[in-house]
């Protein structure tokens, strides 16, 4: 049975935004977020009783957002010099911003995935299990997830570097043979937890100028 899930953001407000904007977002409580087309009948959302559930507009699968995550979104209006008709290039540009900032602080190989979407067949429907355009990998592990939503008014790329592991999402998947392990990088494993605020400031300065909006916490 499908379950109704509220939208993650005010997308009408976003479409009315006329300036190129970086949104720095947080959540006060854990949020389980579904992709735009993700069916709820394939998920055991009861496993997350008491955890807020939202649905985003854009591709990708299930992601767990928590307080402390580095959650940074870019809105580029159509007509802005940074806007591109190339969906793939738009995602890669966002990943390149992250790679530039992380590369200045880390002494590990950093890769921006420039190929097509590659799903992990052992964990279908989980964002951090696969590889999508623009997503950033550090030392071979995914560090930054990327999702994109495009409308005639502009393009919106949402990104997150988690503060905590995504592994408990496996409990929500009903498909047989799911692994309970989703290995990926976090702020802590990268040794960046103490400089999270500085990372955000650096991200908002790449490819600028941007208008910077720090929204009140969701949920």
Is residue 1 in some structural domain? no
For residue 27, the 8-state DSSP code is B
Task: Evaluate whether residue 119 is within a structural domain.
Answer: yes
Domain that holds residue 79: 6-214
How would you classify the pairing of strands 52-55 and 6-7?
A: parallel
Distance CA 7, CA 53 (A): 9
Q: pLDDT of 27-56, one tens digit each?
A: 999 898 988 877 777 777 777 777 888 999
Looking up residue 70, the CATH number of its domain turns out to be: 3.30.930.10
Specify the pLDDT at position 121. 55
Residue 219 lies in a domain: no
What is the predicted pLDDT for the residue at 116? 84
- Structure token pair of residue 155: 């393009």
Instruction: Note the pTM of the prediction, 2 decimals.
Output: 0.91
Phi and psi at residue 128, in whole multiples of 5°? -80, 5
Structurally, how many domains does the chain consist of? Answer: 1
**Is residue 78 predicted with pLDDT exceeding 60?**
yes
List, for residues 98-145, the tens digit of each pLDDT value. 999 999 999 999 999 998 877 665 555 667 777 899 999 999 999 999
């Amino acid at each position: 049975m499908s379950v109704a899930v509220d939208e993650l953001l005010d997308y009408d407000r976003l479409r009315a935004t006329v300036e190129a904007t970086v949104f720095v977002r947080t959540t006060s409580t854990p949020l389980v977020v579904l992709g735009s087309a993700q069916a709820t009948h394939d998920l055991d959302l009861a496993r997350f009783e008491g955890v807020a559930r939202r649905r985003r507009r854009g591709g990708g699968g299930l992601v767990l957002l928590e307080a402390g995550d580095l959650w940074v979104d870019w809105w580029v209006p159509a007509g802005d010099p940074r806007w591109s008709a190339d969906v793939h290039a738009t995602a890669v540009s966002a990943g390149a911003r992250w790679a530039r900032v992380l590369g200045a602080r880390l002494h590990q190989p950093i890769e921006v995935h420039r190929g097509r979407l590659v799903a992990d067949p052992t964990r279908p429907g989980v964002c951090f299990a696969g590889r999508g355009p623009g997503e950033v990998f550090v030392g071979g592990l995914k560090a930054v997830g990327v999702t994109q939503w495009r409308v005639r008014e502009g393009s919106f790329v949402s990104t997150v570097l988690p503060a905590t592991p995504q592994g408990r999402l496996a409990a929500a998947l009903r498909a047989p043979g799911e692994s309970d392990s989703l290995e990926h990088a976090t702020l802590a494993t990268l040794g960046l937890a103490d400089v999270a605020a500085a990372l955000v400031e650096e991200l908002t300065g790449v490819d600028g100028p941007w208008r910077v909006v720090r929204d009140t916490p969701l949920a």
